[in-house]
Amino acid sequence: MFNKQKAIIIGGGISGKLAARVLSDFFKDVVVIERDTESLGPYPRKGARQGEHLHALLHAGQYGLEELFPGITENFYASGAVKINSTKDLAWFHHGVWKLRYDGGYTTTLQTRPHLEWHIEKYIKKIPNISIYYNHVVKNLLYDEDENRVYGVEIQNNDDTLKTQKADLIVDASGAGSISSSWLEKLGIHIPNEKVEIGLKYVSKSFQLPDNNTRDWMIKIVYPNPPIEKIGGTISKVEDNRYIVTINGYQDAIDEKEAVKNDNGFLELAKGLPKLDIYNEIKDGSPLSKTSVFRVPQIIWKRYDKAKELPNGLLVIGDTVCRIDPVFGQGMSIAILEALALQKIFRGDRDTLQRSIIRFHKKVPQIIAPIWNMVITEDFRYPGISGKKPIGLSIQQWYAKKIFLLSSQNQDIYDSFVKVMNLIQPITILMKPKILTKVLGQIMSKK
Ligand SMILES: Cc1cc2nc3c(=O)[nH]c(=O)nc-3n(C[C@H](O)[C@H](O)[C@H](O)COP(=O)(O)OP(=O)(O)OC[C@H]3O[C@@H](n4cnc5c(N)ncnc54)[C@H](O)[C@@H]3O)c2cc1C
């Protein structure tokens, strides 16, 4: 294991905090530089505006967090997160049918994103060799041309003065707006990317709901049936006995100006969902927040792994590399899987720091590619969405649709689908002979 002095992490969001946790085992000092002020509780913050919208934590993310921060799941529940049975307490209307409901033996944790992030931050703050500089913005990377190495960062303090800090490793975890790719382009290093224009908008609001003994779900998803329906929504119980409602629409189908005008604007939007279930729940509820909007005009995967020669000393992680379609709730879990991969590579390596960085950048696409493929297969159901289509798209879409529909009738198939959706099994399990036979059997029975 290399014995290095200092790592600097740009951005103290989810992936910045996870990277700090991992690197604290390998560096004497780990410094996280975060432009936001310190959160003193589970509250949304300016630097991660998406935190005002529903954030699902998939099983892969849940297990990974527990591995990195032992005891965190129980801590979530102790401060109000909601523990649910993943298949029994989820009511999911998907492609025109309701999924089966049964006890599959899995649990999911429902909570707001600020609540989740606040718990991670509490762990990070207890690690003695991690320091977090709030209200500090990284403005530039410092580069040594002779060594082809990023050796530090230029930071703007809250009093607007600039200072520099040097380190052996600079991690860019500053998210989708990161400066790294444009900075590298200026250096003459092109970062190829894959982009899909989805025109997605999120509109969310929190509610207190009246007590109702007949409410038999903890989270209810009304997913649109593409290509005709473009707007879907989710209502989820979270900490403090609140419910978050998130409504999302592809291809600019949501008129957010109307939705944010007043509480009624949001109700009207919910009324336009493919099912009235969510509207019926919130029409007698009390709004607890303003209506928040977040736009994701495009999703993008920056292929740092394909860049000709990245400078030494720079590592990229999280949304800095890939902002994926958030509707499928995978972004945080990808960050967690990446952090675990980083840990494994750094633990196993008896090599130089630079070789470990290269190894990590090669590992990242193995994590992202199957998820990216799964997501864009769904996004491309909408004609007019532009971007590079995967090979065999129409067959993949056809087969996936069969799986979606059979998940309303067949427990084995839904169970496998749940494992794939939660990133704990590869998509290939949905092509096992047992499932293929069921899909083909259904086609034959319709002839
Ligand atoms: C609307 C929406 C809904 C989502 N829903 C889900 C979901 O249900 N489940 C899920 O798993 N994921 C979801 N995601 C994805 C998830 O939010 C991200 O994948 C995750 O936050 C990635 O974290 P990150 O740390 O890489 O980036 P970010 O969370 O964006 O954090 C970047 C951090 O860097 C800081 N920063 C930026 N620039 C600088 C700078 N120059 N200097 C210092 N600090 C800087 C920012 O203040 C911020 O704290 C959703 C995303 C969106 C947009």
Residue 7: count other Cβ atoms within 10 Å of its Cβ: 27
Establish whether residue 203 lines the binding site of ligand 1, counting it when its CB lies within 6 angstroms of any ligand atom: no
Q: Phi first, then psi: what are they for 275, rounded to 5°?
A: -130, 150
Q: Of the residues 31, 32, 50, 292, which should be mutated to test ligand 1's pocket, given the most ligand atoms within 8 Å of the CB?
A: 50
Please identify which residue in the block is written with the tokens 């007949």. Answer: 214
CATH second-level architecture of 197-297?
A: 2-Layer Sandwich (3.30)
In terms of CATH, what superfamily is 4-57+114-192+303-376? FAD/NAD(P)-binding domain (3.50.50.60)
Mean pLDDT by 10 residues, the chain (447 residues): 84 98 97 95 93 97 98 98 98 97 96 98 98 96 96 92 96 95 93 97 98 94 96 98 97 94 95 97 96 97 94 98 97 98 89 92 97 97 94 95 96 96 96 92 72
Contact 57, 109 (CB under 8 A): yes
CA–CA separation, 243 vs 110, rounded Å? 10
Specify the pLDDT at position 39: 87
Specify the pLDDT at position 3: 67
Please identify which residue in the block is written with the tokens 């799941």. Answer: 73
Specify the pLDDT at position 83: 98
Specify the pLDDT at position 445: 72
The atom of ligand 1 lying closest to the CA of 56 is 8
Distances (CA, A) of 447 to 313, 396, 404, 436, 444: 61, 21, 20, 17, 5
In angstroms, how far is CA 174 from the centroid of its own chain? 14
Contact 285, 243 (CB under 8 A): yes
Establish whether residue 326 lines the binding site of ligand 1, counting it when its CB lies within 6 angstroms of any ligand atom: yes
Tokens in use for 148?
Answer: 């082809």
Q: Of the residues 31, 134, 332, which should be mutated to test ligand 1's pocket, given the most ligand atoms within 8 Å of the CB?
A: 332
Expressed in angstroms and rounded, the spacing between residue 173 Cα and the centre of ligand 1 is 9
Q: Please give the full DSSP string across 266-329, using - where no structure is assigned.
A: HHHHHHTSSSSHHHHHHTTSEE-S--EEEEEEEEEEE-GGGSS-PPBTEEE-GGGTEE--GGG-
The CATH 3.30.9.10 domain(s) of the chain lie at: 197-297
Distances (CA, A) of 33 to 5, 132, 159, 191, 392: 17, 6, 15, 24, 43
Expressed in angstroms and rounded, the spacing between residue 80 Cα and the centre of ligand 1 is 23
Specify the pLDDT at position 272: 95
CA–CA separation, 339 vs 69, rounded Å? 12
Specify the pLDDT at position 4: 76
Residue nearest to atom 20 of ligand 1 (CA): 332
Establish whether residue 12 lines the binding site of ligand 1, counting it when its CB lies within 6 angstroms of any ligand atom: yes
Establish whether residue 153 lines the binding site of ligand 1, counting it when its CB lies within 6 angstroms of any ligand atom: no
Residue 426, preceding peptide bond in cis (omega within 30° of 0):
no
Establish whether residue 48 lines the binding site of ligand 1, counting it when its CB lies within 6 angstroms of any ligand atom: yes
The CATH 3.50.50.60 domain(s) of the chain lie at: 4-57+114-192+303-376
Establish whether residue 225 lines the binding site of ligand 1, counting it when its CB lies within 6 angstroms of any ligand atom: no
Residue 168: count other Cβ atoms within 10 Å of its Cβ: 21
